[in-house]
Structure 1
Amino acid sequence: MRFLEAVFPLCLALLAGCSIKRMAVDRIGNALAGTAGVYASDDDPDLVRDASPFALKTIEGLLQESPAHPGLLLSACSGFTQYAHAFLQDEADYAEASDPARAAALRLRARKLYLRARNYGLRGLEAALPGFRDQLRAAPDAALARAGREQVPLLYYTAAAWASAFALDVSDSSLAVDQTLMEKLARRALALDPAWDAGAAHEFLAAWEAGHAQAGGSVARARAHFQEAVRLSGGLRASAYVTFAEAVALEAQDRAGFEALLNDALRVDPDRDPGRRTAILVAQRRARWLLGRSRELFNEPEETKP
């Protein structure tokens, strides 16, 4: 209702000229950027999946009129990242066994949308901190030192989108050379606000440390980040359990630990964290799928009948 109240009187203003049109678009953008909680709190992930493309394209349309709108740039960066992860990359994994061609197509779409999200994130950081994008490559530590707590969401989602695109194609040398930048963005977000979004940056770095264990990463540091994500979320960050199960327990072929972590994710009550209900349900869907594949994921001898 708040969105409609903002839009209706502004439709007439669009006829009055460029400056008034920009003001109208900015006000509509403010209203639209504030609706993310409606998606995040929904108890039907499939409904969110079906509604998200229209919302994301609406955001992009408004950005054509107001290219530096901070709320819209953050919404585009976070929205495309989350949509690609929850509804394309996960669906690709689920489809792999029955339809490899569809799985490959979904991963290609996910990668493209991650890169689109990354670009919106960099645009948002550039709008807030002029010169940031060029400085990030020339002097990343100096560039990131300019960011404050208000940039934490953009830092996090830009890092997440960038790293996710690379994870889908580690042979891409143009992304491989940017791994240091991905990590630095996430670490700056963590340094500025460790508790943001119930420990999101800690979960990111748990996966990062585990995935780079052969190149300076550390499983011990990954575990410490995972434990902080659990603590900061009050045990309600279901995705942290799933992430750690796949990144560490599966890699170590620890079936008991893997299944225990996934069951921890399934024990999270989504209604205890309504602001993140959709994310919890998406993580629990993946946890069930992984548990169903447990036997094939672990190199254990087949059980023999007596």
Structure 2
Amino acid sequence: MPAAAPTLLASLCLLLLTGCASIDRMAVNKLGDALAGGGTAFAGDNDPILIRDASPFSLKLMESLLARNPRHTGLRLAAASGFTQYTYAFVQQEADATEETDVVAAATLRRRAVRLYQRARDHGLAGLEILHPGLRDSLRRDPRTAVRSCGAGDVPFLYWTAAAWAAAIVNGKDQPDLIADLPAVEALIDRALELDEAYDHGAIHAFLIAYEPSRPGAEGDPLARARVHFERALALTGGRHAGPLLTWAETVCVQQQDRARFEALLQQALAIDADARPEWRLANLVLQERARRLLARTDDLFLPVETTPATP
């Protein structure tokens, strides 16, 4: 049991047993603080199925506490990041795997993923609104101006809100109206990059590997822009996080039909020792499973190489 568990359990008991408003608020805040700072226990786990089954309770507990104290920014951030990571690791991955055999079931899962990503986005926007009143509305009117009020301390909110929002758009291909939100996503992630490009060991750069090849209206070579982010993400992770490798393989290698590089990057991802960086253990295990599935689909993702018949 984590070291914070006794305090967390005591707070929960206090919350359940008392009707006093001041004690109730104190218990909510104490429990909220414990939950908001408890992500490392999940991130370092070596059993993705266990985390898949445990996460919904944790996420709903956060939302229950937010219903009592909606201005707890730590819980807002934990909910934004938690729902985003849960949805990517367990709902979107299941949708991708199911799509190979059951398109209808996969579409149902993907619609669920969109709803969960939007929930994560809304928690992120709520947190930004607490810190910068009026930002949520101005973000839709004039995104670039809206995010100028954000500082370095807001980067986690900027990143997770953008990540969740972008994922909702990508998975909501049957909802074309979602694409209208891209300027807001772009403003959030670009401001995060400007304020702290090394945030979370290159998470922003990993995001931009996938985004740059399709960034609307950008100048220059999109592949060159993506490569800059890829190389920076590799440098910041020391090559020990599978994320940048899979993103380049799926985004650039498939687009360029570079099968050899695709296979090499996925094999490199599979060779990562998930225990080398405990804080990335769960992420690497989930991504390595995705790498295996992608390798199994290589023939579907790449056109066959034409061979010239031998001259008789």
TM range (shorter): over 0.9
* Matching of residue 295 in structure 1 with residue 295 in structure 2: no
Within the candidate set 47, 50, 58, 1:47 is matched to 50
Displacement after TM superposition at 1:51 (Å): 0.7
Q: 1:155·1:185 contact (CA, 8 Å) conserved in 2?
A: yes
Within the candidate set 185, 209, 212, 2:212 is matched to 209
Displacement after TM superposition at 1:16 (Å): 4.3
Distance in 1 of aligned mates of 2:301 and 2:38: 39
In the other structure, the counterpart of 1:191 is: 194
Q: Which runs of at least 4 in structure 1 moved beyond 4 Å after TM superposition?
A: 213-217, 301-304
Match runs of 1:81-120 below 5 Å: 81-120=84-123
In the other structure, the counterpart of 1:222 is: 226
Match runs of 1:8-47 below 5 Å: 8=10, 11-12=13-14, 15-47=18-50
Distance in 1 of aligned mates of 2:83 and 2:60: 10
Displacement after TM superposition at 1:198 (Å): 1.1
In the other structure, the counterpart of 1:279 is: 283
In the other structure, the counterpart of 2:182 is: 179
Distance in 2 of aligned mates of 1:9 and 1:248: 49
With normalisation by structure 1, the TM-score equals 0.94
Displacement after TM superposition at 1:99 (Å): 2.2
Displacement after TM superposition at 1:50 (Å): 0.9
Distance in 2 of aligned mates of 1:127 and 1:36: 22
Structure 1 vs Structure 2 CA RMSD: 2.1
Displacement after TM superposition at 1:209 (Å): 0.6
Match runs of 1:193-272 below 5 Å: 193-212=196-215, 218-272=222-276
Which secondary structure does the structure 2 equivalent of 1:178 belong to? helix
Distance in 2 of aligned mates of 1:44 and 1:109: 23
Q: 2:111·2:172 contact (CA, 8 Å) conserved in 1?
A: no
In the other structure, the counterpart of 1:79 is: 82
Displacement after TM superposition at 1:302 (Å): 8.3
- 1:150-193: CA deviation from partner (whole Å, max 9, x where unpaired): 21111111001111111112453432111111011111111111
Percentage identity across aligned positions? 49
Distance in 1 of aligned mates of 2:12 and 2:181: 42
Match runs of 1:115-154 below 5 Å: 115-154=118-157
Call closer, same or farther: CA 1:16–1:263 in 2, change over 3 Å. same
Matched positions, count: 306
Which secondary structure does the structure 2 equivalent of 1:115 belong to? helix
- 1:12-35: CA deviation from partner (whole Å, max 9, x where unpaired): 366242232112101110011111
Greater Cα offset, 282-291 or 263-272: 263-272
Q: 1:136·1:144 contact (CA, 8 Å) conserved in 2?
A: yes
Q: 2:253·2:262 contact (CA, 8 Å) conserved in 1?
A: yes
Within the candidate set 161, 166, 170, 1:167 is matched to 170
Distance in 2 of aligned mates of 1:35 and 1:220: 38
Q: 2:11·2:28 contact (CA, 8 Å) conserved in 1?
A: no
Which secondary structure does the structure 1 equivalent of 2:74 belong to? helix
Greater Cα offset, 107-116 or 95-104: 95-104
Structure 2 stretches of 5 or more lacking a match?
none
Structure 1 stretches of 5 or more lacking a match?
none
Greater Cα offset, 68-77 or 4-13: 4-13
Q: 1:3·1:28 contact (CA, 8 Å) conserved in 2?
A: no
Q: 2:143·2:183 contact (CA, 8 Å) conserved in 1?
A: no
